[in-house]
Amino acid sequence: MRAAIPSLLTLAVCAACAAGSGPAASGAIDPGHLGVELDAGSATAPAPALALAPAPAGDAPPVGPAATAGSAPSPITLAFAGDVMFGRFVPDGFAPIEAERHDPFAKVAHLLGAADLAIVNLETPVMARPPARSAWGTRMRFVATPARLATLATAGVDVVSLANNHHYDMRAGGVAETPGHCAATGLTAIGAARDAPAVRVETLTVRGRRLAAIAITAVRNGPQRASQPLLPHAEPRDLAATVAPLVTAARADHDLVMVLVHWGVEYADAPSRWQRDAAHAAVDAGADLVIGHHPHVLQGIERYRGALIAYSLGNFLFDNTRPIERQTGVLTVDVDARGCTAARFDPALLHKLPEHHVAAAPGRRGRAVRERVRQLSAARPLATTWRDDGEALHLERACRAP
């Protein structure tokens, strides 16, 4: 978030936004739903922790400097990046990314902080006292500490999605702790596991604009158990039918509708047919942006019927620095009354030393990253042409006017 601009970020949870029912369909927020406010403060004053409280009856109040009577909402810039983790369990213990000692986001903070709202996928639970060894007996389990999580907020990230296959890595304890640690750090968590309905619309109000976010995963590391909080999950065959009614309902009273989806085949260069079908169904229902993650590599970014679909934004902080897996970047989208006026992809690279971190890669350093995204986007069936100016990729008229 642009820390120099005092503003408010309001999150209102709409838990029953099916077409024709629930608060999104009626234009009102039920008093039983939850509201969250985040005061972005200033460059010298950190944002206070989020506090959950019952939302008032009626709509969320307009906020931000542009939300005055008779004035149009201000243009905003959104930033998106991929998967973030801070270490994994190994056979003899835990291999951390010691973010509290070496800031892993310092060299991309200018890209995140320039946006009014920056969102990443938090691919790890957060615990104050993580166990020394994995409870699952496998290395494919992650955990982070609050101190490491805090580096995301310091870098300018505002919102994290918890709807992914690693949200239950620390069992019920991690599920219960993570949202509170996010709030205490100044991050808004969306897509958290909860009681039914698990999949819902969550409203972010930024500088007078109401943004709908639907966070969902089509991947999980084990079956849903009756005693567990419900992960916002749909099987691949059910994803389109689950998301489309929520999008349609949210479209009625939001300026922009985003679907944040954890899906796909790991390390695949291109999305599967079912992913394209589900993304297109979300757009057909009214979504402006579909932002994907999970494959751990960058995939193409498609413009479809006036909407933008990023099938995978790859790893943003991970312990995998192989040549393709280390390629990443930040997707930014400018939004005004005409819709998404432009999109930009700034390349970045993951580095292993002195500690795992991500760094912007302008010019020649990012040529391979830009070329991968440009070629995968241009290839059929995505058939989307991005302009390369030697520093970043650009796409004008990225999505429809509302």
Residue 37 has pLDDT above 50, yes or no: no
- Distance, in Å, from the CA atom of 139 to the CA atom of 133, rounded to the nearest integer, reads 10
Residue 56 has pLDDT above 80, yes or no: no
- Distance, in Å, from the CA atom of 95 to the CA atom of 139, rounded to the nearest integer, reads 10
Residue 114 has pLDDT above 80, yes or no: yes
Bond from prior residue into 125 cis (ω within 30 degrees of 0): no
In a domain, 58, yes or no: yes
Query: In the structure, what pLDDT confidence band is assigned to residue 11 with cuts at 50, 70 and 90?
Result: low
Read off the CATH number of the domain in which 117 is found: 3.60.21.10
In a domain, 1, yes or no: no
Query: In the structure, what pLDDT confidence band is assigned to residue 131 with cuts at 50, 70 and 90?
Result: confident
In a domain, 3, yes or no: no
In a domain, 137, yes or no: yes
DSSP state of 305: T
* Predicted pLDDT at 370: 98
Mean predicted lDDT score pLDDT of the chain = 83
Query: In the structure, what pLDDT confidence band is assigned to residue 29 with cuts at 50, 70 and 90?
Result: very low
In a domain, 382, yes or no: yes
Q: What value does the mean pLDDT take over residues 374-382?
A: 98
Residue 49 has pLDDT above 80, yes or no: no
Burial of 57 (0-12, 13-18, 19+ CB in 10 A): exposed
In a domain, 402, yes or no: no
- Distance, in Å, from the CA atom of 83 to the CA atom of 75, rounded to the nearest integer, reads 27
Domain count, the chain: 1
CA 165 from chain centre, in angstroms, equals 14
Tell me the three state secondary structure of residue 34: strand
Which residues in 64-187 belong to E strands, given as ranges?
A: 76-84, 87-90, 93-96, 117-122, 159-161
- Which candidate, 139, 185, 147, places its Cα nearest to that of 166? 139
Q: What DSSP string runs through 192-220?
A: --BSSP-S-EEEEEETTEEEEEEEEES--
Q: Of all residues in the chain, what percent are helix, strand and coil, respectively (each to 5)? A: 20, 30, 50
Q: What DSSP string runs through 39-75?
A: E---SSSPPPPP--EEPPSBSPPP-STT--TT-PPPP
In a domain, 353, yes or no: yes
Q: What value does the mean pLDDT take over residues 20-33?
A: 30
Residue 138 has pLDDT above 70, yes or no: no
Tell me which residue range forms the domain holding 138: 8-396
Residue 24 has pLDDT above 70, yes or no: no
* Predicted pLDDT at 226: 74
Residue 28 has pLDDT above 60, yes or no: no
- Distance, in Å, from the CA atom of 219 to the CA atom of 293, rounded to the nearest integer, reads 11
Residue 66 has pLDDT above 50, yes or no: no
Amino acid at residue number 82: G
- Which candidate, 121, 230, 94, places its Cα nearest to that of 168? 230
- Cβ(126)–Cβ(177) below 8 Å: yes
